[in-house]
């Protein structure tokens, strides 16, 4: 049995507690929540779980093997470092940290102490993303050409991070998981419609050295909720609509061939439209898969699907996007190391 401690019982924490509580090989031993007024509600649902108001008391509890951190992003690094140094395995909420240097340091500590360090990039564990991975790896879509995601709604304005840091980690982790080649640079623009200067609408382009390109549209100020991604390959095209209850993925047998007329310096394009295929997807709750993977990797000393290096790659793009926004969309090269 892996003994789990969870820090943060705000919006997302309760989902983690519920999913960790239903694992066969793990048990939630303790919770830390600094808002003590939340404690009676927690003990009513989970009378068997110890509750702390100070996360250091949870981290120093010798009975705890692993710590799950579901607090605001600015606190991820400090809490994860404290937990790793105390010899605990760590599952961090997304995005991993507020900077590349912080993520790298956590990875080094985890490696040196042989501990599992994982990031809750929940979408990797969805039936939809697993199916897309299977189709792409099975060469059903062909050579990938573009990834275009829209994640907009009337969202909760975050006090510490902009809309890209809040929403794009989902799409960036999916992209990183599906596409094997590495991004080269980022151009991003965004605006803040509040006095704190934190962007609530932002657009980001991630550039690659081959002919693949990725674009992200994120907003907390859209009257409609859209969660859609287009992935284009040279054989087929895929539409992923996460708001569809079951038919989340459609594969279009659509494409184009082009020939050039060198003499006239013209491109001629032939379009092809064929059948649409809707695959059946697993409906297991993604967060159950996250909790299972974390515990399984602790028990069997394995690397999780949402491993820390993937979390770091996401933070590298986010940090570059922030620099680009502050420089009016200037191209920022993503560090390779």
Give contact residues for ligand NAD (rule: CB under 6 A).
7-13, 32-35, 55, 70-73, 75, 93-94, 120, 122
- Based on CB atoms, which residue is closest to ligand NAD, 212 or 216? 216
> Nearest residue to ligand NAD, using CB?
10
- Based on CB atoms, which residue is closest to ligand NAD, 17 or 116? 17
Minimum gap (Å) between residue 64 Cβ and ligand NAD: 14
Closest CA to 154 of 173, 171, 167, 170: 167
Sheet holding 50-52, edge to edge: 50-52, 26-32, 2-7, 66-69, 89-93, 117-120
- Based on CB atoms, which residue is closest to ligand NAD, 33 or 242? 33
Structure tokens at 297: 């990797």
- Span between the terminal Cα atoms of the chain, in Å: 37
Minimum gap (Å) between residue 120 Cβ and ligand NAD: 5
Residue in this structure with the two tokens 């297991």, named with its chain if needed: 284
- Pairing between strand 66-69 and 237-241? unpaired
Minimum gap (Å) between residue 274 Cβ and ligand NAD: 35
Closest CA to 148 of 217, 230, 234: 230
Minimum gap (Å) between residue 180 Cβ and ligand NAD: 24
- Based on CB atoms, which residue is closest to ligand NAD, 119 or 237? 119
- Based on CB atoms, which residue is closest to ligand NAD, 122 or 229? 122
Quick one: residue 155, left, alpha or beta (phi over 0 = left, psi -120 to 50 = alpha)? Answer: beta
- Based on CB atoms, which residue is closest to ligand NAD, 9 or 212? 9
Q: Determine the 3-state secondary structure of 30 from DSSP.
A: strand
Cα atoms found within 13 Å of the Cα of residue 300, Cβ hemisphere only: 10
Minimum gap (Å) between residue 108 Cβ and ligand NAD: 21
Distance CA 226, CA 129 (A): 17
CA angle 41, 42, 45 (to 5 degrees): 90
Minimum gap (Å) between residue 143 Cβ and ligand NAD: 30
Q: Which residues on neighbouring strands pair with residue 287, listed in sequence order?
A: none
Biggest alpha carbon distance in the chain? 79
The DSSP symbol for 307 reads B
- Based on CB atoms, which residue is closest to ligand NAD, 237 or 291? 291
Minimum gap (Å) between residue 213 Cβ and ligand NAD: 26
């Amino acid at each position: 049995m892996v003994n789990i401690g969870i820090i943060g019982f705000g919006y997302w924490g309760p989902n983690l507690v519920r999913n960790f509580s239903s694992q066969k090989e793990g048990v939630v031993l303790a919770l830390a929540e600094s808002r003590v007024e939340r404690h009676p509600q927690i003990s009513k649902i989970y009378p068997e779980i110890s509750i702390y108001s100070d996360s250091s008391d949870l981290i120093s509890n010798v009975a705890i093997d692993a710590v799950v951190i579901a607090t605001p992003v600015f606190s991820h690094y400090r809490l994860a470092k404290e937990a790793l140094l105390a010899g605990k395995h760590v599952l961090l909420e997304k995005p991993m940290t507020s900077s590349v240097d912080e993520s790298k340091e956590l990875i080094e500590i985890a490696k040196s102490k042989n501990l599992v360090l994982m990031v809750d990039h929940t979408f990797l564990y969805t039936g939809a993303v697993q199916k897309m991975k299977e189709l792409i790896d099975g060469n059903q879509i062909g050579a990938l050409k573009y990834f275009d995601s829209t994640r907009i709604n009337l969202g909760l304005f975050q006090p510490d991070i902009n809309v890209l840091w809040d929403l794009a980690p989902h799409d960036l982790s999916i992209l990183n998981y599906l596409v094997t080649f590495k991004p080269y640079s980022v151009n991003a623009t965004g605006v803040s419609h509040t006095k704190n200067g934190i962007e609530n609408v932002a657009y980001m382009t991630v550039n690659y050295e081959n002919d693949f390109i990725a674009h992200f549209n994120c907003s907390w100020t859209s009257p409609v909720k859209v969660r859609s991604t287009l992935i284009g390959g040279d054989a087929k095209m895929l539409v992923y609509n996460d708001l569809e209850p079951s038919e989340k993925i459609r594969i279009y047998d659509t494409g184009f061939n082009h020939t050039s007329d060198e003499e006239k310096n013209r491109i001629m394009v032939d379009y092809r439209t064929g059948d649409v295929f809707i695959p059946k997807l697993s409906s297991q709750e993604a967060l159950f898969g996250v909790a299972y993977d974390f515990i399984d990797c602790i028990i069997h000393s394995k690397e999780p699907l949402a491993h820390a290096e993937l979390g770091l790659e996401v933070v590298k793009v986010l940090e570059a996007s922030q620099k680009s926004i502050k420089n009016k969309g200037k191209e920022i090269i993503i560090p390779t190391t």
